[in-house]
Amino acid sequence: MTRRIALIAASILLALGISSGAAYAYYVSTGTGGNTATVGTLQVVSGDAITTQTPDTLLQPGDSGEAIVSIHNPNNYPVTVTDVAQAGAISVSGGSGCTESNSGISFTAQAGLSVSVAASSTQLVHLPGSVSMASSSADGCQGATFDVPVSVAVQS
């Protein structure tokens, strides 16, 4: 009988040793692996001046008016417009004798904006007070249209 108890005790100890070894291996085993991720490329978001709409505030000598910019977001996710800045020389059309040099037109950069533009869409952005006309502007600039090229900063 003692031999039988010894055999059973030995079987139990062997079973416990195997089980604890497997548990030990499970908790302390190490391994290596790798993973990759790809970040998409932000497509260019463009801004175009709008001349087909009448701004809420028209320019007058010695005053400021509203610029309207059309923002096109070709990305498949929304973006937020944060800044709009002048990106070239202001051009003039119309008027009588109004030129870039005598128009007195200037654009004030717009920083700290937070305008959401939905994915794959175009949105008009009104920038009140962003365009100014000097009080010394030529009389021939009455009725002229001014094109202000802009750059648009966005974040996603």
Domain assignments of the chain as residue spans, ordered by start: 1-31, 46-155
Q: Looking at the domain 46-155, which fold is it? A: Immunoglobulin-like (2.60.40)
Specify which residues 46 forms β-bridges with. 72
pLDDT of residue 17 exceeding 70: no
In angstroms, the CA 89 to CA 110 distance is 17
Identify which has the larger pLDDT, 26 or 135. 135
Asked whether the beta carbons of 130 and 82 are under 8 A apart, the reply is no
- The structure tokens 């005598």 sit at 102
Question: What is the per-residue pLDDT for 48?
Answer: 60
pLDDT in tens, 67-117: 888 888 888 989 999 999 999 999 999 889 999 999 999 999 999 999 999
pLDDT of residue 136 exceeding 90: yes
